[in-house]
Structure 1
Amino acid sequence: MIRNEIKIKSEEGELFDKKQIALAIRNSTFEDDLKCSLLEDGILDKCQGCSLKYICNGIDQVVDSYMEKTTEIVNNFNFD
């Protein structure tokens, strides 16, 4: 069974699925992007003063770190 939900229900209550969060961050490094809906929808015009700024910056660092750790140049080509 494949679940594509960020929240899962358990006997303890609703939980956030770290796998889905990790997959969303990883997938953003392929064909997708990460954007802030608060900025996109015009609710905020800048990140200054946003209480989520610290978390968003952390996500950006995770993406950069993931790219650095998983991207390897295997060969260079020169077309002269």
Structure 2
Amino acid sequence: MIKNEIKIKSEEGEVFDKKQIALAIRNSTFDDDLRCSLLDDGILDKCQGCNLRYICDGIDQVVDSYVDKTTEVVNNFDFE
């Protein structure tokens, strides 16, 4: 059974599934994108002053780090 939910229920209550969060971040490096609905919906016009900015910046760093760690140059070509 495959669950595609970010929140799962446990005996302790509802918890966030790290696997789903990690997959969302990883998938954003392929054909998807990470965006802020606060900006998209016009709730905020810029990130400055948003109390989520630190987390968003951290997510961006995780994405960059993931791409750096999983991208391997297998050959270089010189077209002269």
Task: Show the counterpart of 1:57.
Answer: 57
Confirm or deny that 1:5 pairs with 2:5. yes
Counterpart CA distance in 2 for 1:47 and 1:23 is 24
1:27 paired to 2:27: yes
Runs of 4+ in 1 over 3 A off after TM superposition: 77-80
SS of the aligned residue for 2:38 comes to helix
Partner of 1:17: 17
Query: Structure 1 vs Structure 2: percent identity of aligned residues?
Result: 84
Q: TM-score, normalised by structure 2?
A: 0.95
Q: What is the deviation of 1:79?
A: 5.3
User: Number of residues paired by the alignment?
Assistant: 80
Give the aligned residue type for 1:35.
Answer: R
CA RMSD of aligned residues (A): 1.0
TM-score by length of 1: 0.95
Distance 1:27 1:3 in 2: 16
Secondary structure in structure 1 of the residue aligned to 2:39: helix
> Secondary structure in 1 aligned to 2:15?
strand
Deviations 1:37-70 (A, max 9, x none): 0001100000010010000000000000000000
Query: Where in structure 1 are there 5+ consecutive unaligned residues?
Result: none
